[in-house]
Chain A
Amino acid sequence: MAITAPPATRTVTLTIDGREVTAPEGATIWEAARDAGIEIPVLCHDERYDPVGVCRVCVVDVGARVYAAACVRPCEDGMEVKTATPEVEQRRATLTQLLLSDQPPAEQDPKETTTADNELLALARRYDLSREDGIPLGGGRGEDHSNPVISVNHDACIMCDRCVRACDDIQGNDVIGRSGKGYTARIVFDLNDPMGESSCVTCGECVAACPTGAIVNKPIRGVPVRPRAELDQVETVCPYCGVGCALTYNVDRERNAIAFADGREQPGSKRRLCVKGRYGWDYAQDPQRLTKPLIRREDSYPKGPLSSDVRGEGRGRRKPGGLVNYDEVLPHFREAEWDEALDLVARRLAEIHREHGSGAIAGFGSAKCSNEEAYLFQKLIRAGFGTNNIDHCTRLCHASSVAALFEGVGSGAVSTTYGDIINADVAVLAGTNTTANHPVASSFFKQAKRRGTTMIVVDPRRERIADYADIYCQIKPGTDVAFYNGMMHEIIALDLVDREFISQRVTNYGELAKTVRQYPPERAAQICGVGADTIREVARLWGEAGAAVIYWGMGISQHTTGTDNARCLIALCSITGQVGRPGTGLHPLRGQNNVQGASDAGLIPMFYPDYQLVTREDARERYEAVWGRELDPERGLTVTEIVASALTGGVRGMYMMGENPFLSDPNVNKVRKALAALEFLTVQDIFLTETAEFADVILPATSYMEKVGTYTNTDRRVQLGRKVLDAPGDAREDWRIVCDVATRIGLPMDYESPSEVFDEMVSLMPNYRGLSYDNLGASGKLYPNPDPEHTDGTVVLFDESFGTDDGKAHLVPAEWLPAKELPDEEFPFVLNTGRLLEHWHTGSMTRRSYALDAIQPAAEVYLNPDDAAALGIAEGDFARVTSRRGSIELRARVSHRDTPGTCFIPFHFREAAANILTIDEIDPFGKIPEYKFCAVKVERAGPAAGAGNGAAATRAEGDDGYGGKRTEVKAASPSEGTDEMPAG
């Protein structure tokens, strides 16, 4: 049953401190008092959490034999409450004194000495108490420093339960609890494990919740955590995933560095952050930042990879992880001034354009850059070079979803927000490892589930989110079409379709019905491996739901059948009328912070900004008029096609803004050849990437932290990213660099600021109509937004019609097709690739972030316990994984989450690049590579570090086999600071 707004409630009238107060029935005394302007002190309560009434500081006199805890006691008619009699205040002081006697001295308190906002000490000051007033002092309960960025001090803990609720009820991670009994009770992680070794995902919600010094942030990169008043607050947006959480960086201006981050109120993310957002911002301060333009030395031609790793010589060698070896690569470049570098870039690209035509030029933009930068970059390529060979990593994540959505409902954007799940009776999470890839969105999913939404998870990997599912469907990899066709077969068979919706708002239902008729649940079950009864149950749940919604990830899109997969989801929603109302609809969870915005802004070969087809004459003419250049009437090449074209001499000159295809594209060995084959390559980035080793010119850009721009999240929320830090050295904003190059090739761009670019962009994009830097506000605005001055924007799209020409949903039936490379005797495993919670894309940012690298320092292959046992591989052993395209060695992790016969490798790790193995087959419509399915073999390659031979040799070289970055994880063994207590 969905949670809806509570019905208008009755009220109760009571007296608080002599004043008559009316409160809604069910309101607590604390809430009623607050609303009446009466503050009642409390330690264990925070409005974000359900009250627990354990600190008792908020007790009030209600005229009974004992006091009542105001935070948890509901108001009653006629109640007479006294909140601050001398007796009540005396009891509060005594409670404070009791807690104070167990606390560390203020000058050693982990909170008072950092952010200086210890709520217990504030209360102690209010009551003028000192720690040593005669109550026996406690102490010695232990500390736990095992987490790289969070310190736990059990002495400072008052057992207020806030962290427990933050962990459970807000983030849904369920790690922290109470252990023991009586005075020896403590908070614990999992089975009383050190925090750093527990299942804690370091989201830091507990830090944000803790009122005392019990759970605090550690300084990162030596930047001290100080009181907020001593730091600058910059309200901006998280630079990582598409969830786009609002946050505030507390900036140490003297050090030009971030001290710590706070989640900030915003309608979507509601102050929540994940480990990347809260702790992964220090990459910008990494000493390896590029600060001067670099030009390849004459003697470093002919071009090719410069480091032994990128040459592929590292293959088969067990070695510490890490990033591009600057010592090996930098000598091949010389520093240059901006003018020289920009002139060279413009001249070489113009020459290639002149000699080989428009088709010889291509650009890769980035979903990590701003809307304005995406817009300018595509404008440069389209108007400056007359080609639509412009693409970015959307091709690698949701291109097939967008293709299907565009074809089906006329819009590539989500039809509703992630937070709208709270209004759904049933939610299907399809092929999405949300807890890792969209952690904050997943917290809303988990919350909705706990409040009554039936959650169905469909995924071959039993991801963490599956633990929360009402029904988990472990389909075989690559069988989504069969599963959803089976569901639709049953829905039609049970007549659970929405006939009215179909007749009025859907086309091609007949063809769809004909196709899914071939997929009775028994047949679907045979293909997808989920029992026919489960398919029936899921179909019935979906069909009978008042409101049902689908969220999906790259498990749907990254297949050669990715578009078909998404077509099935669109059909499923359409035939049941589950779109266009709260709690219904289609939501492809977008990967990067600005993949939605970059696509909106036209960073794709087939669309101008706002999804105007380049092949449509009217659209082309409109853009030609505004940009003043003749435009290419043909759609351009996609990422994978550009790589292929470079190998055959088609594309010869490339401009890459913030992309690293060497690691992100499938079949690395092929990419390596393609990059080396380019006549000219300029790479604009903040670090020396693997791809940059092939560059002729490297342009040092600013990081997200050092510029202004807008970013559009997965919900269609356009938010302003503000400048946090000063750029290092000569690094320059990406938008300025693009303008500089454009102007030099004869396409003048003289924008004064990103807001000017935004205004031009918005003028061309009906969906963004009305938005401007002035009305985005602190928490951004959803588009479309008819009145951005006054409203947050439109949550639910398609309430009356779809974005297609005829306003109807166009159903496209899909037949199940097997993956392109099935397992066989030689390569018996199915390889699945994806991301880890702590890492991001090719790791250039996250592996330079202290917290993220410390928590997850190395590449691992995840194997089912039975498979691992059969292969003789133990946890931590080295495994060799080989496909028809290459081979890598990496550690094994034995994981209950992986199905027998499959293995999983995250793609962030250059030293064991998963994409050496992946196949470069693509979906025919979305042109997205099949990252989720290829055949590999797995062998044991050596023992765990410390178990002898090869690994030991590596360690002897002076590190721990993981680049020596693993942080100290030894926990203080907590001792009980009390005398002997018998068991009950």
Chain B
Amino acid sequence: MSAIPGAEARAGRFPGPSLIPKLTAIQREHGWLPREELARLGREERRPLYEIEGLISFYPHFRTEPPPGVELTVCQDLSCWLHGGEERLRELREIYGEDAGVEFHEVSCLGRCDAAPAAAVDDRPIRAAGVETLVEQARGGSPVPDPPARRTGVRFQNDPYEPGARDYRLLRAVLSGELEGERVVAELKESGLRGMGGAGFPTGTKWELVAKQEARPKYAICNADESEPGTFKDRQIMAEQPHLVLEGLLVGMAVTGAREGWVFIRHEYGPEEEVLREELARIRESGVLDGTDLELDVFVSPGGYILGEESALLECMEGHRGEPRNKPPFPGVAGLWGKPTLMNSVETLAHVPVILERGADWWKAQGVNGGTGFKFFAVSGHVERPDVYCVPMGTTGRELLDMAGGVTGGRDLLAFQPGGASSNFLGPEHLDVPLDFGPLQEAGSMLGSGALVAIAEGTDLLAAGTNVLRFFRNESCGKCVPCRVGSHKAHQMLTETLATGNGPADLDDRLTELEATLRLTSICGLGQVALGPVMSVMGMERGGAAARPQPRPAEPADRPSGADGSSSDHAG
């Protein structure tokens, strides 16, 4: 068999640089991708045409027809759906559905769940309520302005720096040798810091594993492809704490021996990308990297939730369709271009400096109810103040909900997802469960991506669950059978049930079997969790959300994550 990781996704078959930047350049020049240009690209780069077709049909950003004028996209995922997204969509469809000058389509979660329902005009995110003005403005020829990144000015508790005092002293200490790599690893292990992207793999163990790999070169990637409905905490961290994210990544590079690193950011996060680039320029100017050979850059995702899956992200960076690899091997051993690759999520990296500054003991002491350290949560849905909150790990759902002003209009809570779209729904009886890896798993859900979505009484819960499934179906890469076909068929059955009031008589049994099949046989986390939330909704009446076992939070120590071929970790 082939020794190339991901060979099954055609990686390594056509060696050469990624065609994605060249395709992007053609699209920038022409506004779309004319066939002759694609043929020329294939000829000049000596790459098969099907490879080009595979890319441009996989990444939603590419277009094979001239754009009509204004592009209007509207989100329909859970938080937006809970905020009357459907109705707004109907209105906009009436206004623009027949408008030849406006290309109008639905889009997956834009990461603006705090401004639900969200839309985007020419890729600029906006509250759907105000799109008409922007559309007219764009139609009139004036480009839609990029909104600045939203900054609250709040100083989150995980920031060891006084305002204006970002001197990267921890990075300096590591680079000067004052703080040894081994000590960094030991401190992180001691702190109990775990991956905040979802899988919760111990960070120190991952760093140690990559550090001891002998293959060269090594790479490091900050996974900022946060794309799960309800999840926008990384967006806020990047806007407020770019220095912590970049310092964490650079420290990780120095410790593991990676020379090249990237922040892989979703393309809808233009404003935050800008913040990161500014901070990166600041770092370079500050001279902290002088004398090192560390290179850091921002890699803008060509789009798609699946790219948050770590091996799909690697496939994308290598220039292939973003289809997850069969694992093992894992990225820490064989990642980008088959080389050891350190991959952590935005939040994980943002916590590193404060742990190194104040020590593992201090960090552990910050948690409550048995938790360690801090945790960021995005809170959205039916709440008064949807926003990002940094709270002690172990804070309960009730406390977090209170911080967010409680359920909208003082209504009763019907259910909530504690950890993003892939986490099972919990009922109000679980509001006092500490929001932490273990307790949530015991309750039948998971900490997941750190996104609490609240649903008020009066909502059709089955419809909400189906909405979540719809997202996964839409974002399935299509590589493996269970996810590609199973998510679609399950969604079909549920949609019919919702429309007619009764679906197949044996719907429960069928979905139960499909859920087990998807969970046990899908290649990656997307397929494995796709049916869980809707099943949890169906299971509620029978006394709980635990329609399925939750992913094990920790993996054997010799593997960086998801030891059995599947971490549910979306954003690393």
| A688 contacts B by Cβ under 8 Å | no
A66 to B521, Cβ gap below 8 A?
A: yes
Q: Which of B328, B477, B481 has the most CB of A within 10 A?
A: B481
CB contacts under 8 Å to B, within A171-198, are: 174-185, 188-192, 198
Given known contacts A94-B513, A467-B46, is B57 in contact with A181 (CB within 8 Å)? Answer: yes
B474 to A134, Cβ gap below 8 A?
A: no
Chain A binding surface SS class? loop
Closest CB of chain A to B16's CB: distance in Å? 12
Q: What residue of chain B has the Cβ atom nearest to residue A91's Cβ? A: B517
B108 to A984, Cβ gap below 8 A?
A: yes
The CA-CA distance from A745 to B536 in the complex, in Å, is 95
Q: Which of B22-30, B228-236, B288-296, B483-491 contacts A (4 or more CB under 8 A)?
A: B483-491
Given known contacts A101-B489, A183-B473, is B519 in contact with A66 (CB within 8 Å)? Answer: yes
Closest CB of chain A to B318's CB: distance in Å? 16
Given known contacts A50-B2, A65-B566, is B48 in contact with A182 (CB within 8 Å)? Answer: no
| B304 contacts A by Cβ under 8 Å | yes
| A635 contacts B by Cβ under 8 Å | no
B48 to A56, Cβ gap below 8 A?
A: no
Would you give the 0/1 interface string for B233-246, flagging 1 where the beta carbon is closer than 8 Å to chain A?
00000000000000
Would you give the 0/1 interface string for B498-540, flagging 1 where the beta carbon is closer than 8 Å to chain A?
0000001010001001101101111100001000000000000
Residues on B with beta carbons closer than 8 Å to the beta carbon of A50: 1-2, 7-8
Closest CB of chain B to A457's CB: distance in Å? 12
| A253 contacts B by Cβ under 8 Å | no
Selected contact of B477 from candidates A94, A176, A182, A189, CB within 8 Å: A182
Residues on A with beta carbons closer than 8 Å to the beta carbon of B326: 52-53, 69, 72-73
Q: Which of A280-288, A552-560, A671-679, A974-982 contacts B (4 or more CB under 8 A)?
A: A974-982
Q: What residue of chain B has the Cβ atom nearest to residue A133's Cβ? A: B510
Given known contacts A91-B521, A94-B517, A95-B521, is B474 in contact with A984 (CB within 8 Å)? Answer: yes
Residues on A with beta carbons closer than 8 Å to the beta carbon of B105: 982-983
Closest CB of chain A to B207's CB: distance in Å? 24
Given known contacts A51-B1, A67-B521, is B481 in contact with A982 (CB within 8 Å)? Answer: no
The CA-CA distance from A91 to B522 in the complex, in Å, is 11
Residues on A with beta carbons closer than 8 Å to the beta carbon of B73: 982-983
A191 to B565, Cβ gap below 8 A?
A: no
Selected contact of A136 from candidates B8, B492, B566, CB within 8 Å: B492
Q: Which of B58, B304, B495, B522 has the most CB of A within 10 A?
A: B58
A66 to B481, Cβ gap below 8 A?
A: no
Q: Which of B35-43, B162-170, B275-283, B372-380 contacts A (4 or more CB under 8 A)?
A: B35-43
Selected contact of B13 from candidates A69, A450, A467, CB within 8 Å: A450
Selected contact of B53 from candidates A51, A87, A159, A179, CB within 8 Å: A179
A161 to B517, Cβ gap below 8 A?
A: no
B514 to A94, Cβ gap below 8 A?
A: yes
| B49 contacts A by Cβ under 8 Å | yes
| A631 contacts B by Cβ under 8 Å | no
Residues on B with beta carbons closer than 8 Å to the beta carbon of A134: 504, 506, 510
Given known contacts A94-B514, A191-B49, is B474 in contact with A99 (CB within 8 Å)? Answer: no
Selected contact of B564 from candidates A26, A56, A66, A182, CB within 8 Å: A66
Q: What residue of chain B has the Cβ atom nearest to residue A100's Cβ? A: B485
| A238 contacts B by Cβ under 8 Å | no
Given known contacts A180-B58, A182-B484, is B53 in contact with A192 (CB within 8 Å)? Answer: yes
Closest CB of chain A to B469's CB: distance in Å? 13
Residues on A with beta carbons closer than 8 Å to the beta carbon of B53: 177, 179, 188, 190-192
Q: Which of B49, B514, B528 has the most CB of A within 10 A?
A: B49
| A62 contacts B by Cβ under 8 Å | yes
| A168 contacts B by Cβ under 8 Å | yes
Closest CB of chain A to B368's CB: distance in Å? 29
B481 to A181, Cβ gap below 8 A?
A: no
Q: What total of chain A residues lie within 8 Å of the partner, measured CB to CB?
A: 69
A65 to B552, Cβ gap below 8 A?
A: yes
The CA-CA distance from A701 to B39 in the complex, in Å, is 47
The CA-CA distance from A59 to B49 in the complex, in Å, is 33
Residues on B with beta carbons closer than 8 Å to the beta carbon of A87: 520
| A64 contacts B by Cβ under 8 Å | yes
The CA-CA distance from A134 to B509 in the complex, in Å, is 12
Given known contacts A95-B517, A182-B475, is B481 in contact with A56 (CB within 8 Å)? Answer: yes
Closest CB of chain A to B292's CB: distance in Å? 33
The CA-CA distance from A168 to B46 in the complex, in Å, is 14
| B54 contacts A by Cβ under 8 Å | yes
Residues on B with beta carbons closer than 8 Å to the beta carbon of A57: 481
| B21 contacts A by Cβ under 8 Å | no
Selected contact of A191 from candidates B35, B485, B564, CB within 8 Å: B35
The CA-CA distance from A980 to B107 in the complex, in Å, is 11
Given known contacts A53-B326, A161-B8, is B108 in contact with A65 (CB within 8 Å)? Answer: no
B1 to A28, Cβ gap below 8 A?
A: yes
The CA-CA distance from A168 to B50 in the complex, in Å, is 11
Closest CB of chain A to B305's CB: distance in Å? 6
B49 to A199, Cβ gap below 8 A?
A: yes
| A68 contacts B by Cβ under 8 Å | yes
Residues on B with beta carbons closer than 8 Å to the beta carbon of A199: 49
Would you give the 0/1 interface string for B528-568, flagging 1 where the beta carbon is closer than 8 Å to chain A?
10000000000000000000010110000000000111100
| A896 contacts B by Cβ under 8 Å | yes
Q: What residue of chain A has the Cβ atom nearest to residue B14's Cβ? A: A174
Given known contacts A67-B521, A189-B50, A191-B39, is B564 in contact with A983 (CB within 8 Å)? Answer: no
CB contacts under 8 Å to A, within B76-97, are: 76
CB contacts under 8 Å to A, within B372-403, are: none
Residues on B with beta carbons closer than 8 Å to the beta carbon of A169: 13
The CA-CA distance from A168 to B481 in the complex, in Å, is 22
The CA-CA distance from A896 to B14 in the complex, in Å, is 21
Q: What residue of chain B has the Cβ atom nearest to residue A183's Cβ? A: B488
The CA-CA distance from A177 to B303 in the complex, in Å, is 20
Closest CB of chain B to A364's CB: distance in Å? 42
Residues on B with beta carbons closer than 8 Å to the beta carbon of A346: none
| A55 contacts B by Cβ under 8 Å | yes
Residues on B with beta carbons closer than 8 Å to the beta carbon of A174: 14, 48, 50-51
Closest CB of chain B to A795's CB: distance in Å? 26
B489 to A98, Cβ gap below 8 A?
A: yes
A982 to B7, Cβ gap below 8 A?
A: no
The CA-CA distance from A816 to B474 in the complex, in Å, is 65
| B321 contacts A by Cβ under 8 Å | yes
Residues on B with beta carbons closer than 8 Å to the beta carbon of A91: 516-517, 520-521
A982 to B489, Cβ gap below 8 A?
A: no
A177 to B481, Cβ gap below 8 A?
A: no
B477 to A181, Cβ gap below 8 A?
A: yes
Q: A91-B520, A181-B477 are in contact. List 8 more A-B contacts (CB 8 A).
A: A52-B9, A54-B523, A55-B480, A65-B564, A66-B564, A98-B481, A192-B57, A984-B475
- Ordered by A's residue number, 28 sampled pairs between the chains whose C-beta atoms are within 8 Å are A52-B326, A53-B326, A53-B480, A56-B482, A66-B519, A66-B521, A69-B326, A69-B523, A94-B486, A136-B489, A136-B492, A158-B481, A159-B481, A176-B50, A177-B50, A177-B53, A179-B57, A180-B58, A181-B477, A182-B476, A183-B484, A189-B50, A191-B50, A191-B53, A450-B13, A467-B46, A982-B108, A984-B475
Chain A residues packing against B (C-beta within 8 Å): 26, 28, 50-57, 59, 62, 64-69, 72-74, 87, 90-91, 94-95, 98-99, 101-102, 134-136, 158-159, 161, 164, 168-169, 174-185, 188-192, 198-199, 450, 467-468, 896, 978-984
